[in-house]
Amino acid sequence: MTRTDATPATPLPAPRQCPYAPPAFYTETRESGQPRRGTLWDGSHPWLVGGYDQVQQVLRDPRVGADVTDPGFPNTSAAQPELEGNIFFRKDGDEHLPVRRILNPDFTAKRVEKWRTRIEELVDDAIDKMLEQPRPLDLVKHFALPIPTTAICELLGVDLVDSPVVTHAAHLATDMEAATEEKVAAMHELSEVLARYARQKQDEPDDRLLGRLVNEHVPNGDLTFDEVVRLAQLVIGAGHETTANMLSLGVLALIRDEQQREKLLSDPDAYAATCAEEMLRYWTIVQTEPRRFAREDIEVGGQLIRAGEGIICSLAAANRDPAVFQAPEELDITRAERRHMAFGYGVHQCLGQNLARVEMQAAFPRLFQRLPELRLAVPEEELRFRDTHIVYGLHELPVTW
Amino acid sequence: MKVTIDEAKCCGAGQCVLAAPEVFDQREDDGVVILLDAEPPASEAGNVREAAALCPAAVIAIQD
């Protein structure tokens, strides 16, 4: 076992050399076979883990914690402990799994499958509305955001699809450069709106997620009313911004690659699912997650990580690990490979992953079936990627047809 | 092939159901895995292995 205390200054998330590839620092960390230290905004130096096997090892090690309030936890902004400190997904053990199991029923594979027809309608509705707009238009605003936002709002049972409160809060929450006060204020505003909905559902129960939480799990003491509001906030935040960025990036990839686009359209039923998985693997949009800290000394790739030190797993580097994926730098929508970790790994793996899959499976083929001439309305070099956000993506995607 | 599951650790990600729907299901009330067939036929072996490999909480064990 070795230990290297030399501290490189590479900031996290590391700068990208190419918008279509993970940062070189992540790839080089994987290739070195050992975790390497990066630097966060607060001057702390968590370990970056890049190899596929090493990421899996860390994320299933019970000596590794996910509690955002622990002093060793590598926070990507000062606001995080306050915004996320009491939410199950930043907790361990009994503070995590029982709460996750309360949310699970709305996200099981079968339950989500029942939403497929509705999601297909949302895709068609978004395209219908695009056709009414003057061209060029921003695909992020008119396609990538409305589909998952509507889906998650309907699943939750709230009508906040066009609410600026939601988009503002979600945008700030994932922007690592936004000020703490601004983030907290935006999330507070959103939680007030969600609390109003929750109170309304106490009087008029329904069978959607928020109604179920407030009418089943508050009376029996599983959750407090405030916890329900926080969970609703988490579901709404995590449920649309992530998928929206995957939809924009996936569309961009298909616009750029005529061969892949033609392949998808040659047999959408056959390739819709593999296309979604490949987009997830290729883009791997979370830039600084999953984050953890060592509760005890652990060894990863021969490197000692001491108790109390922070760890950031690079899913992007892991998902391009040549030890697991053939020709990992290539986009191949026919790749029958579901071992990617775009949704994370371990007991915290994305709760909404099955919903996100169905949304992508419905959206990619349908968009190009209905708009086969879809193309960029600006030179590719002018596209602005979300480099400083927790979730990678595009600020806007100007298209025409 | 014999399959066993550790319910206590299951986080209900549902990857087993997507990989091998003949062998795994999820409980309605908490998403925890249900083993439909503890001794699946050889035709299911590939799917079951994929389910075990994909399970994020590593709760599926296989004995040949």
Region A4-28: mean pLDDT is 84
Q: Does some domain include residue A283?
A: yes
Peptide bond just before A290 cis, omega within 30 deg? yes
Closest approach of chain A CAs to the CA of B39, in angstroms? 23
pLDDT tier, A240 (very low <50, low <70, confident <90, very high otherwise) = confident
Q: What are phi and psi of A34, to 5 degrees?
A: -140, 150
CATH topology for B2-63?
A: Alpha-Beta Plaits (3.30.70)
Q: How many domains are there within chain A?
A: 1
Enumerate the residues of chain B whose CB falls inside 8 A of the CB of residue A108: 12, 14, 17, 26, 28, 31
**H-run or E-run covering B33:** strand B33-35
Of chain A, the percentage scoring pLDDT greater than 90 comes to: 81
Pick from B21, B30, B57: CB nearest A101: B30
How far the first Cα of chain B sits from its last, in Å, is 4
Pick from B21, B30, B58: CB nearest A60: B58
Q: What is the pLDDT of residues A362-380, one digit of tens each?
A: 999 999 999 999 999 999 9
Q: Does some domain include residue A9?
A: no
Q: Does some domain include residue A59?
A: yes
Number of residues assigned to chain A: 401
Locate the chain B residue with the closest alpha carbon to A344: B56
Is B38 in CB contact (< 8 Å) with chain A? no
* A150 vs A7, higher pLDDT: A150
Q: What is the pLDDT of residues A196-226, one digit of tens each?
A: 999 999 999 999 999 999 999 999 999 999 9
Q: Does some domain include residue A400?
A: no
DSSP string, A94-123: GGTHHHHHHHGGGGSHHHHHTTHHHHHHHH
Query: Taking CB atoms and an 8 Å limit, are A338 and B31 in contact across chains?
Result: no
Query: CA nearest A313: which of A295, A290, A296?
Result: A290
* A176 vs A344, higher pLDDT: A344
A211: helix, coil or strand? Answer: helix
CB A194 within 8 A of CB A247: no
Q: Does some domain include residue A391?
A: yes
pLDDT of residue A3: 52
Region A285-296: mean pLDDT is 95
Residues of A with a Cβ under 8 Å from any B Cβ are 59-60, 97, 100-102, 104-105, 107-110, 338-339, 343-351, 353-354
Closest approach of chain B CAs to the CA of A384, in angstroms? 33
Q: Is the pTM of this model over 0.80?
A: yes
Q: Does some domain include residue A5?
A: no
Query: Taking CB atoms and an 8 Å limit, are A100 and B32 in contact across chains?
Result: no
Lowest mean pLDDT of A70-84, A384-398, B45-59, name the range. A70-84
CB A197 within 8 A of CB A151: no
Query: Taking CB atoms and an 8 Å limit, are B12 and A100 in contact across chains?
Result: yes
pLDDT of residue A230: 92
Range of the domain at A59: 24-84+92-395
Amino acid type, A357: R
Output the domain CATH number for residue A147: 1.10.630.10
Buried b (16+ CB within 10 A) or exposed e, A161-198: bebebbbbbbbbbbbbebeeeebbebbeebbebbbebb
The domain segmentation of chain B, as residue ranges, is 2-63
Q: How many CB atoms lie within 10 A of CB A262?
A: 12
Query: Would you say residue A6 has pLDDT above 70?
Result: no
Closest approach of chain A CAs to the CA of B45, in angstroms? 17
Locate the chain A residue with the closest alpha carbon to B53: A339
pLDDT of residue A8: 55
Enumerate the residues of chain A whose CB falls inside 8 A of the CB of residue B26: 104, 108-110
Query: Would you say residue A259 has pLDDT above 80?
Result: yes
Q: Does some domain include residue A13?
A: no
The encoded tokens of residue A168 equal: 């503002």
Region A247-261: mean pLDDT is 98
Query: Taking CB atoms and an 8 Å limit, are A109 and B18 in contact across chains?
Result: yes
Across the strands, what pairs with B62? B3
Tell me what the pLDDT averaged over chain A comes to. Answer: 93
Q: What ipTM, to 2 d.p.?
A: 0.96
Q: Does some domain include residue A137?
A: yes
Buried b (16+ CB within 10 A) or exposed e, A278-302: bbbbbbbbbbbbbbbbbbeebebbe
CB A173 within 8 A of CB A165: no
